[in-house]
């Protein structure tokens, strides 16, 4: 009986602490989106932006502050065709991890649905680079750059 209680206690502790860990990767992605949002603050207030993953699927936003003018969408979902016919502004998040460096490209483009075809118009984008410091044991912002067409 004591073994079962000790086993359950340790399982509870492992589950409890593993659930409370922060996801650094997700925080870095959300930070890059916040940097992009702050770089074009004037335009974000006037427009609604949608955010997607690299495979055009719905991006899961975990930061509630970002959800004010930025929503998540699945472009190829049939329910969204009416919205896309009017045209929407989309940010595609493309993370690339190379050794200790995480490069996050955010491509800004417009999407239209006309004549049973999706049309993508590139409007520029942003690149945010983070590097992991073993000495400080955290991710550091190395570079951010923004471009537009």
User: Could you give the percent of the chain with pLDDT greater than 90?
Assistant: 35
Q: How confident is the model at residue 16 (pLDDT cuts 50, 70, 90)?
A: low
pTM of this structure: 0.78
- For residue 85, the SS3 value is helix
**Residue reference for tokens 């603050």:** 41
Q: 142 vs 85, 127, 128, 132, CA distance in Å? A: 39, 11, 8, 10
φ/ψ (deg, to 5) at 107: -95, 125
Sheet with 70-72, edge to edge strand ranges: 70-72, 49-52, 88-98, 101-114, 117-133, 138-148
Tens digit of pLDDT for each residue in 95-149? Answer: 999 989 999 999 999 999 988 899 999 988 999 999 999 999 899 999 999 887 6
Nearest CA-CA partner of 73 in 60, 87, 54: 60
Q: What does the block give as tokens for 101?
A: 């460096």
* Domain boundary assignment for the chain: 23-148
Secondary structure of 34-53 as H, E, C letters: HHHHHHCHHHHHHCCEEEEC
Q: What are the Cα distances from residue 132, in Å, to 50, 98, 142?
A: 29, 11, 10
Residue with structure tokens 């870095």?
Answer: 28
User: Are β-strands 49-52 and 88-98 bridged in parallel, bridged antiparallel, or unpaired?
Assistant: parallel
């Amino acid at each position: 009986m004591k073994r079962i209680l000790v086993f359950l206690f340790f399982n509870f502790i492992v589950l409890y602490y593993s659930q409370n860990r922060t996801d650094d990767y997700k925080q870095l992605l959300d930070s890059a989106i916040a940097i992009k949002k702050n770089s074009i603050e004037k335009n974000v207030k006037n427009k609604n932006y949608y955010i997607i993953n690299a495979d055009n699927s719905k991006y899961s936003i975990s930061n509630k502050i970002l959800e004010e003018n930025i929503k998540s969408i699945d472009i190829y979902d049939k329910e969204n065709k009416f919205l896309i016919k009017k045209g929407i502004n989309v940010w595609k998040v493309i993370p690339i991890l190379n050794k200790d460096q995480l490069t996050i490209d955010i491509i800004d483009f417009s999407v239209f649905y006309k004549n049973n075809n999706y049309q993508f118009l590139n409007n520029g984008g942003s690149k945010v680079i983070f590097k992991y410091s073993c000495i400080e044991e955290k991710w550091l912002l190395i570079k951010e750059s923004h471009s537009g067409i």
